[in-house]
Structure 1
Amino acid sequence: MYDDLYDVIVIGAGAAGLTAATMLGRSMRSTLVISKPLRRNSPASSVNNVPYADGAAPADIYRKMEQDAGRYGVTMLWDEVTSVRAYEDHVVVEGGAHPGLRCRRLLLATGRVDVLPDWLPEGVWGRSAFDCPYCHTYERSGSTFVCVGTGDETLKMAALSRQFAKRMTVLVGDPPASRGRLARLLLRHDVEVLCDEVVRASADPAGGVTLRTAHGRTLSCDTLLLGDVARPYRKFAEDLGLELSAEGFPETSLYGMTSNPLVYSAGNVEGSSYFMWTGAASSGINAARAICEDLAFASELLDDWE
């Protein structure tokens, strides 16, 4: 019954959410995972930098993780969460088709969201267009790269990726950044740095992308790297009135504790833009451990002492 009081509801079925859910299920905590079926990396053909599953399709990894969680009694619910509300001793999660889901503790594992430019052609994201210099650039070795963004983070991404490129061009929309130290570093390594912006683009049959810029340039590439697309998912944190960092992420302890004692956060963290799959999974483990200890000590034992 969906109107039961769960020990934990996890919002998000990515690396952090499913890792946490499995640990919670193994700890005999009634756990519900509610999520939309598509994850942030679903468009990608493979998950990389994961030694035990390197090169596997995201759908295959998630299918196995869902099966593992299910073996320990975790309930999976495919639905879109519309809002969350915290009360004194429980949290209510409203699913689009399943309202009034209640839990003693809530884990936000929504991850980041990608805000893609309007000009990006359909079907290239996760195939020939990416935002991380670690996850897919190795597989693109020897191809022509173009990096597009607004400032130093884009130049850093280019510097981290230049060794994979046969030829690399950077389009950066920030004039000071295009003349700064990072730009000069790239120029010393034969990377062209241009102060320009993309206004439209098209995909070619081979999977590459052709870019037209505000200054009338036409650039073709096999691999497109986009800076400044990942954003924190803030809606539920704002619904709950959580304290947020300057970057918009929930302020948390190492173990995912937020400013609300009933709410934890994993996977959706500040710091490096390249907080990858394994990091998200590790943060899920940390949060699940903290929740288990919270429910065992802070709740049950403290209730007995009162």
Structure 2
Amino acid sequence: MPSPVFLPEDSMSHRKDPYDVIVVGAGAAGLSAAVMLGRQKRRVLVVSLKRRRNSPADRVNNVPFAHGTPPGEVYRKMESDAAGYGVEFVWDEVRTAWATDETVGVRTADSGSFSAGRLLLATGPVDDLPAWIPEGQWGRTVFDCPYCHTLEHDGADFVAVGSGEETLQHALLCRQYADGLTAVVSDPEALGSPLAERLRSVGAQVVADTVRSARALPAGGLLLVTGKGREITAGAVVLDTAIQRPNQVLPKALGLELNPHGFPRTTLFGQTSHPRVYNTGKSNPSSPYFAWTGAAASGLNAARKISEDLAFG
């Protein structure tokens, strides 16, 4: 396999593009796209950090043929599949990107600059985790998906934490697993909602408060301390998706049009406002529960459109 080609940024427009496609991000979307593009015999470079958003988790769930498998194992298999079709990898941070009428390119922190005919952004959103989460608990005791890690805590005391309605929804989605159930919402108006009443009807507590600190308990779980001095024991904590924010560094550098949520505005196939730039994965969510399989499928959709774009001109 040839080594990646390094080009100085100011020479990009004067050199033939060494790649057909640069994929930024090696999660479910980016690697799914890379495999399909590699099978299309496109020259593909994946640039990514090794750590993905779900790397702290013990296992991926609800993923066909990989259910219960550690995330690192899933990604190693996908990387091997992509490399087998000639896809190259650079494990580095992408600091900036640019796009002209003729070419697109990225500059990394330590590995130089690369250019291509098309650019696929598959970086996903950024998690702004609350400071009170103890080290090593994110993705295990504390998580944000009411589908992916709930069964592993069956019979525990569940606590849903967040701002309002979505927190109450998460609590109700966890009720069948919970021995005890509490929703801690920062918006007092949420206490009067039908969802709050439904929670109370099934024996759950709903309080207007915030979590100030937490510590891991020797027997497992967490002890939460709220802003109003409550102490709540939790075997599992489910956060609302307000912790996710769009990763706007590259979209803003590229001048992409953004949607009202701050993500690049795209078509179903990931086409952005720049004809050479595509965006996919959880950075283009169709719902708050845009799961691993949905991100992978969006990567395949984008790869198909990119391949057609390259073929049809």
Q: What range describes the TM-score normalised by the shorter chain of this pair?
A: over 0.9
Change (3 A) 1:230 1:207: farther
The one-letter amino acid paired with 1:15 is A
Q: Counterpart of 1:162? A: 175
1:277 aligns with 2:292: yes
Map 1:77-92; keep pairs closer than 5 Å: 77-92=90-105
Distance 1:113 1:259 in 2: 22
1:123 aligns with 2:136: yes
> 257, 264, 267: which one pairs with 2:278?
264
Q: Counterpart of 2:257? A: 243
- The CA deviation string for residues 119-166 of structure 1, in whole angstroms up to 9 with x for no partner, is 111110011111000000011111111111011111111111111111
Give the Å deviation of 1:271: 3.1
Alpha-carbon contact 1:230-1:273 (below 8 Å) kept:
no
Distance 1:248 1:151 in 2: 21
SS in 2 for 1:164: coil
Q: Counterpart of 1:68? A: 81
- The CA deviation string for residues 208-241 of structure 1, in whole angstroms up to 9 with x for no partner, is 1111111110011110111121222221111111
Q: Gaps (5+ residues) in structure 1?
A: 299-306
SS in 2 for 1:162: coil
Alpha-carbon contact 1:247-1:270 (below 8 Å) kept:
no
Map 1:1-306; keep pairs closer than 5 Å: 1-3=4-6, 5-227=18-240, 228-267=242-281, 268-298=283-313
The one-letter amino acid paired with 1:240 is L
- The CA deviation string for residues 169-217 of structure 1, in whole angstroms up to 9 with x for no partner, is 0100001112211111111111110001111111122331111111110
- The CA deviation string for residues 69-127 of structure 1, in whole angstroms up to 9 with x for no partner, is 00000001100000001112111200111222101100000012211001111110011
Distance 1:106 1:121 in 2: 37
SS in 1 for 2:77: helix
Aligned residue pairs total 298
The one-letter amino acid paired with 1:177 is A
SS in 2 for 1:202: strand
Change (3 A) 1:234 1:185: same
The one-letter amino acid paired with 1:52 is F
Identity of paired residues, percent?
52
CA RMSD, 1 decimal: 1.0
Distance 1:86 1:206 in 2: 53
Alpha-carbon contact 1:2-1:98 (below 8 Å) kept:
no
Alpha-carbon contact 1:124-1:207 (below 8 Å) kept:
no
The one-letter amino acid paired with 1:261 is P
Distance 1:296 1:33 in 2: 20
The one-letter amino acid paired with 1:66 is E
What is the TM-score normalised by the length of structure 1? 0.95
SS in 2 for 1:254: coil
SS in 2 for 1:34: strand
Distance 2:302 2:128 in 1: 27
